[in-house]
Amino acid sequence: DSGVTQTPKHLITATGQRVTLRCSPRSGDLSVYWYQQSLDQGLQFLIQYYNGEERAKGNILERFSAQQFPDLHSELNLSSLELGDSALYFCASSVVGYEQFFGPGTRLTVL
Amino acid sequence: AQSVTQLDSQVPVFEEAPVELRCNYSSSVSVYLFWYVQYPNQGLQLLLKYLSGSTLVKGINGFEAEFNKSQTSFHLRKPSVHISDTAEYFCAVTPRGSQGNLIFGKGTKLSVKP
């Protein structure tokens, strides 16, 4: 158990819908990273927050957004969902950035 | 920009045999290097990391890796594998001085047979 929690574990939804994925980092970790794992693209970095501020952006679509709240939990919002958005979404947290602890992931299925 | 190439998508090996999983990277700046393991239906777990110092790095579960700057490689090795090592292994890099976001290879599926 890494100490990072993600909810829900599984999410099934339809094209065009909007979903929110939630991540609670390890106690004391200020950084939260979001990654997408798909068969086509592999593991890709989406976005990073540090203590409530966006710090780095990767291959994140404009339909996707994230935020980190004062209690340090983070949410990833995915809208206008397409079939190709089906993937595993991982959250990771760290103190100093170079050792990241990953959550168990949320499996999103878009039908 | 950085990229990571894991040369083998699948590696089958018999129990108690040695194994090497290969990783090469490309970067115009210095990087930190990592190996992560993903067991079925689980998240990623850090096996080992190279930040600086000795180029031979020891990790958990008996794994080790060697950083070779001239060959831009960071191969993962274990002298004797167990059935429980069956998993997918990911090599990753992040540029020094960056925010730490990881660039991953495509992964190598290690299958240990009895």
Q: What are the residues whose beta carbons fall under 8 Å from the beta carbon of A73, sequence distance 6 or more?
A: A22, A23, A24, A25
- Residues B43-69: pLDDT tens digits? 999 999 999 889 999 999 999 999 999
Calculate how close chain A gets to B38, using CA atoms only, in Å.
10
> Looking at beta carbons, which residues of chain A come within 8 Å of B49?
98-99
| Cβ contact A99–B104 (<8 Å) | no
Band of residue B73 on the pLDDT scale cut at 50, 70, 90: very high
Calculate how close chain A gets to B36, using CA atoms only, in Å.
10
| Cβ contact B32–A50 (<8 Å) | no
| Alpha-carbon gap, residue A110 to A104, rounded angstroms | 19
Calculate how close chain B gets to A16, using CA atoms only, in Å.
27
Please give chain A's pLDDT, 111 residues, in tens.
889 999 999 999 999 999 999 999 999 999 999 999 998 899 999 999 999 999 999 989 999 999 999 999 999 999 999 999 999 999 999 986 578 999 999 999 999
Residue B99 has a pLDDT of 80
Q: Which residue has the higher pLDDT, B6 or B53?
A: B6
Residue B55 has a pLDDT of 92
**The one-letter amino acid at A107:** R
Task: Give the A:B interface size as CB pairs under 8 Å.
Answer: 59
- Residues B27-40: pLDDT tens digits? 999 999 999 999 98
Residue A97 has a pLDDT of 59
Nearest-Cα residue of chain B relative to residue A104: B43
Pairing of strands A101-102, B87-95: unpaired
Out of B92, B101, B107, closest to residue A58 by CB:
B101
